[in-house]
Amino acid sequence: MNAESGFEIKPVYREGDVAPDAPIGEPGEFPYTRGVYPTMYTKRPWTMRQYAGFGTAAESNARYHQLLAAGTMGLSVAFDLPTQMGYDSDDAIAHGEVGKVGVAIDSLDDMRQLFDGIPLDRVSTSMTINAPGSVLLLLYQLVAEEQGVPGSALQGTIQNDILKEYIARGTYIFPPKPSLRLVADTFAYCRAEIPKWNTISISGYHMAEAGATPAQEIAFTLANGIEYVRAALAAGLAVDDFAPRLSFFFVARTTLLEEIAKFRAARRMWARIMRDEFGAQDPKSLMLRFHTQTAGVQLTAQQPEVNLVRVAIQALGAVAGGTQSLHTNAYDEAIALPTEKSARLALRTQQVLAYESGLTGTVDPFAGSYAIEALTDEVEKQATELIERVFSYGSSVDAIEQGFQKQEIEASAYRIANEIDNGERVVVGVNRFAADEEERYEPLRVDPAIEAAQVARLAALRAARDNEAVEAALADLAKAAGGTENVLPLMKEALRLRATVGEVCHTLRGVWGVYHPVERF
């Protein structure tokens, strides 16, 4: 049998398959193979998040209250495509997409409604937003200030990982260099204003969803991490001032053993990179802390209830691999947005693992397994070789511009698709054990009237605000973007005056331009 990363998985592993000097170590100690904390889940479980957001801010707010009542420990916000691309709901390009794959956030008014009745000093919030990540973070901070919550009390994460957008996902706005400048500005701003916030979630998840193997996922993610560290250092930040707030985001597939090995390999690779390449001294700078989401791409529309089993196995891999927080997909997400019932079942999956399985009783229970340790070494070897190939181009950005990562991922996706098509890799209910008839399923649907309502809200906002003050604030932002000043304080002032997400992003487009990928054939 072959691993997804391409190497052979042996039928039997023995002591000789594990390198005698394999750096297993102790939990909470360099190189953190066994976990970043000495006690891991024995004192408290991982943070249980559920990714939610659809339609209007009011609808998403109601879902958040349901999830919190069901025992969710942290919120994870999904934004619609116009918001992710820095367009307002009334922009022509947004037509037909408002509220479809997440919540539409156009202004401070929407963000205020999104978190109505939710105490932001007691809830950790993760926001899946990249190119306009700093804009949404500032809106969140403004809402917290209205609640009387200082930035020092806010905890959460913005994804803010623009490099993976050029590789696998495509919701970029600006070219790479100004995008990296915006990331570095966010690091500096949060260190001073929101010190507990995780300023970036360097993401392999989307590359995995596009077809990256486990080895490719961690290789390209860590290579991007190196690029962000270099950008922050070039901006004058000291490594131990920002590195402790870096976090990562990985997928958890159904290939249980390879996934556990992947997480363990990624931790010890990052620890060595930060210590040996960047001279980090703070132990927190060496710790690869990560959020995990179960693999949406492995969910099937056929026999969707089987996805409950897949998600449970994927969640088990994330927990056994030492994740710090976890989102479990709902079983019906291959068809539509999850219903309230399916979202609750996804959360219950985590709760069963935390409170019934016994997994939280000991740290890194797979440590010392011949198979796990050998697989960890093999994934690390492949990922290290891939990182070297990335930097043979000069930098991660240089490799992106040459299409290297994208081409490698596409080749892997093609290989896996062929293995599924010819039956070599089994997908239950798809290429084996298919059902003659599928039960009718009624998905959650987004009301198309949402777009008209958002457009009306924007018209009312623009009529009620001080438009001269907004224009002046946006002009100040444009001036800062053309120089070297940190742009976030000026963005915050414009947003406080009720400038919209689209207006702020259009202002930056006017200075920095937009990214147009070079097509390679």
Per DSSP, the residues of 31-95 read T-TT-SSSSGGGTS--EEEEEE--BSHHHHHHHHHHHHHHT-SEEEEEB-HHHHTT--TTSGGGT
Q: Residues of the chain with pLDDT > 70: what percent?
A: 96
Q: Is the dihedral of CA 416, 418, 423, 429 positive or negative?
A: positive
Two structure tokens written together for 113: 């409604």
Compute, in degrees rounded to 10, the torsion defined by CA atoms 106, 110, 115, 121.
60
Q: Average of pLDDT values for 13-38?
A: 91
Taking only the tens place, the pLDDT of each residue in 116-163 is 999 999 999 989 899 999 999 999 999 999 999 999 999 999 999 999
Quote the CA–CA distance of 192 and 281 in Å, as a whole number. Answer: 20
Q: Average of pLDDT values for 479-488?
A: 97
Q: Give how far Cα 463 sits from Cα of 123, 382, 412, 468, Å.
A: 34, 57, 52, 12
**Which residue reads 């539409």 in tokens?**
104
Provide CB contacts within 8 A for 296, sequence distance 6+.
209, 329, 333, 334
Quote the CA–CA distance of 480 and 17 in Å, as a whole number. Answer: 57
Q: Average of pLDDT values for 486-496?
A: 98
| Predicted local confidence at residue 294, as pLDDT | 96
> pLDDT at residue 208 above 70?
yes
| Predicted local confidence at residue 75, as pLDDT | 86
> What one-character-per-residue DSSP string does 7-40 give?
SBPPS---GGGS-TT-----TTSTT-TT-SSSSG
Confidence of residue 521 (pLDDT cuts 50, 70, 90): very low
Q: Is the dihedral of CA 424, 429, 435, 438 positive or negative?
A: negative
Counting Cα atoms < 13 Å in the Cβ hemisphere of 193 gives 19
Taking only the tens place, the pLDDT of each residue in 184-197 is 999 999 999 999 99
> pLDDT at residue 518 above 90?
no
Average pLDDT, the chain: 92
Q: Average of pLDDT values for 457-465?
A: 96
| Predicted local confidence at residue 66, as pLDDT | 86
Using DSSP bridges, classify how beta strands 124-128 and 290-294 pair: parallel, antiparallel or unpaired. Answer: unpaired
Q: Is 189 exposed, middle or buried (0-12, 13-18, 19+ CB in 10 A)?
A: buried
Q: Which of 494, 457, 501 is nearest to 85 (CA)?
A: 501
Q: Average of pLDDT values for 336-346?
A: 84
Q: Average of pLDDT values for 238-249?
A: 94
Quote the CA–CA distance of 374 and 257 in Å, as a whole number. Answer: 11
Least confident of 23-37, 150-164, 412-426: 412-426
| Predicted local confidence at residue 517, as pLDDT | 78
| Predicted local confidence at residue 340, as pLDDT | 81
3-state secondary structure of 111: helix
Confidence of residue 520 (pLDDT cuts 50, 70, 90): low
Q: For Cα atoms 242, 235, 218, give the angle at the middle one, nearest 5 degrees.
A: 55
Q: For Cα atoms 321, 272, 197, give the angle at the middle one, nearest 5 degrees.
A: 65
| Predicted local confidence at residue 209, as pLDDT | 93
Quote the CA–CA distance of 482 and 102 in Å, as a whole number. Answer: 32
Q: What is the DSSP letter of 152?
A: G
Taking only the tens place, the pLDDT of each residue in 344-373 is 899 999 999 999 999 999 999 999 999 999
More confident residue, 37 or 343: 37
Quote the CA–CA distance of 82 and 84 in Å, as a whole number. Answer: 5
Quote the CA–CA distance of 520 and 398 in Å, as a whole number. Answer: 14
> What one-character-per-residue DSSP string does 410-449 give?
HHHHHHHHHHHHTTSS--BTTTBS--SSPPP---B---TH
Confidence of residue 51 (pLDDT cuts 50, 70, 90): low
| Predicted local confidence at residue 193, as pLDDT | 97
Contact 279/239 with Cβ under 8 angstroms?
yes
Q: Average of pLDDT values for 430-443?
A: 73
Taking only the tens place, the pLDDT of each residue in 261-317 is 999 999 999 999 999 999 999 999 999 999 999 999 999 989 999 999 999 999 999
Q: Is 152 exposed, middle or buried (0-12, 13-18, 19+ CB in 10 A)?
A: exposed
More confident residue, 335 or 384: 384
